[in-house]
Structure 1
Amino acid sequence: MEVILSGTGTSQGVPVIGCDCTVCKSTDTHNVRLRTAAIIQMSNGLNIQIDCGPDFRQQILANDIHSLEHILLTHEHMDHIAGMDDVRAFNFSNRVDMNVYGTGQVLARIRHHFDYAFSRVPYPGAPRIVTNVIDSNPFQLNDVIVQPIPVWHGKWPVMGFRIGNFAYITDVNAIPASSLELLTELDVLVLGVLHQKQHHSHYHLEEGIKVAKLIGANRTIFTHISHQMGLHDEVSAELPTGIELGYDGMRIHVHQE
């Protein structure tokens, strides 16, 4: 399968509005980051979206995605759900309702913010969304098995996801031992790492490197990156072998045994 990192930035994105730092003023496209999201493309043609933030429409267009039936939500913060209205494009073009998967807490927020999509008498053009409650147990999308990975984002419960030899965990500063047991023998791990300094609800760079080494995936790629991380090329040059910074539009081939 192939994974597209359609966004690798924080809730503000990069460049940050009004910021004149070196990263925000950089002309290198590796330093331009939309809000964090990913698209998983299975070899059978199935596309799976992870998170649906405010840049969802732009990301779908930029990566030439023409079909989508499933969206996995890590948590309910707005930089991960604010683009949900734009799923109606797939309702129209693919003639299917959009299946959205999240914990009960996450889906309650979806129903609150996008209540018009769940009205008994929805207005024409409202997105058609089918909510599917998940917990820590694996579930199936067509013939694809998804294993949720419970982690912590400060005091906020967040889900990562594992599909085959690939795992995706964003907005995280603690992974319980029971979840680490679900992350063995990975080909690729995508892990949220914010910037260089300690943070109350995100791994910073030193912590992210330690966690990456502990999990031991063949390849670890950092996402959810702040402008305070530094320039992409300069930080990348200092990372250990097997660990790298992600960037928008990055395509990752995942070996499946």
Structure 2
Amino acid sequence: MQVTFLGTGTSQGVPMIGCHCPVCSSVDYRDKRLRVSVHVQTQGKSLIIDSGPDFRQQVLRARIDHLDALLFTHEHKDHTAGMDDIRAYNFKQQQDMPVYAEPRVLEQLRREYAYIFAEHKYPGVPKVATYPIVSDSDSFLVEGVEVHPIRALHYKLPVLGFRIDNFTYITDANHLSQESLDRVRGSEVIVLNALRHEQHISHFSLSEAVAILADLAPRVGYITHIGHQLGKHREVEATLPENIRLAYDGLQVTL
């Protein structure tokens, strides 16, 4: 399995518009963060989790010429705003794009992308085949790849993380139940969000994320969905335990 971090930034990205703080002004490429998304290549399949507003730029940069399916963690725009750009894969692959999400999220996509789901479609619009994730406790198959949903809370909004084999990806969360933690435990690589040092209403802080990763004890844990308030990549990573790292755009991990 190979995992590529397409984006590791918060909803506004880093640098943030109009901000000239040391992080937003940094020349370190690791401090340039597009909106969160990850590419998973496993069992000969190419899967992407979340397609935010930077989706086109991300897949071009990562040279992802083929995509078998798109999964959504939840319906916020920084995770869904790039779905229109799957049309390039429709044209190239000559098939509808499988899209997996909870029913509530699929309904939101139908509202925001009404032209995709219209009875009489405009020529050239994206073509999707929707697959509702109806249980947060039962695994499901995505093009033959077994995916285990992981329930989390993003403030009061239920969201999903995903475990694929020994890789677990959880973003936009500030609460995981014991049941969810148990489903994650044993993963070789765990990705968890941490927005900043201070507590936040809907995201883990860095210390909270580090504590969870320390308990779960993966071979390596990665932090994603990082805001400019967290600090410079080089400086923050130097303070972390040996098996915990800050993810950055373009980072590739092989399991």
User: TM-score by structure 2 length?
Assistant: 0.98
- Residue number in structure 2 paired with 1:132: 131
1:11 Cα offset (Å):
0.4
Q: How does 1:51-70 map to 2 (within 5 A)?
A: 51-70=50-69
1:85 Cα offset (Å):
0.5
How many residues align? The count is 253
Q: How does 1:16-55 map to 2 (within 5 A)?
A: 16-42=16-42, 44-55=43-54
- Residue number in structure 2 paired with 1:245: 246
1:45 Cα offset (Å):
2.6
SS in 2 for 1:112: helix
- Residue number in structure 1 paired with 2:224: 223
One-letter code aligned to 1:166: F
- Residue number in structure 2 paired with 1:6: 6
- Residue number in structure 2 paired with 1:99: 98
One-letter code aligned to 2:77: M
Residues 69 and 143, structure 2, Cα contact 8 Å, conserved in 1: no
1:178 Cα offset (Å):
1.1
- Residue number in structure 1 paired with 2:160: 159
CA offset digits 1:5-38 (Å, max 9, x no partner): 0000000000000001000001110000000000
Structure 1 unaligned blocks of 5 or more: none
- CA–CA distance in structure 2, aligned partners of residues 104 and 224 of structure 1: 24
- CA–CA distance in structure 1, aligned partners of residues 38 and 143 of structure 2: 19
Residues 161 and 169, structure 1, Cα contact 8 Å, conserved in 2: yes
1:212 aligns with 2:213: yes
Structure 2 unaligned blocks of 5 or more: none
Residues 69 and 96, structure 1, Cα contact 8 Å, conserved in 2: no
CA offset digits 1:138-171 (Å, max 9, x no partner): 1012331000000001001000000000000000
- Residue number in structure 2 paired with 1:173: 174
One-letter code aligned to 2:202: S
One-letter code aligned to 1:34: L
- The list of structure 1 runs, each at least 4 consecutive aligned residues, that deviate by more than 4 angstroms after superposition, is none
- CA–CA distance in structure 1, aligned partners of residues 240 and 107 of structure 2: 40
- CA–CA distance in structure 1, aligned partners of residues 44 and 145 of structure 2: 11
SS in 1 for 2:48: strand
SS in 1 for 2:17: coil
User: TM-score by structure 1 length?
Assistant: 0.97
Residues 69 and 97, structure 1, Cα contact 8 Å, conserved in 2: no
- Residue number in structure 2 paired with 1:113: 112
1:215 Cα offset (Å):
1.4
Residues 172 and 202, structure 2, Cα contact 8 Å, conserved in 1: yes
Once superposed, what is the RMSD of the aligned Cα atoms? 0.7
1:53 Cα offset (Å):
0.4
Residues 98 and 130, structure 1, Cα contact 8 Å, conserved in 2: yes
- CA–CA distance in structure 2, aligned partners of residues 194 and 253 of structure 1: 25
1:221 Cα offset (Å):
0.2
CA offset digits 1:194-224 (Å, max 9, x no partner): 1111101100011011011111111100000
SS in 2 for 1:131: strand
Query: Which moves more between the two structures, 179-188 or 223-232?
Result: 179-188
1:69 Cα offset (Å):
2.0
One-letter code aligned to 2:36: T
- Residue number in structure 1 paired with 2:147: 146
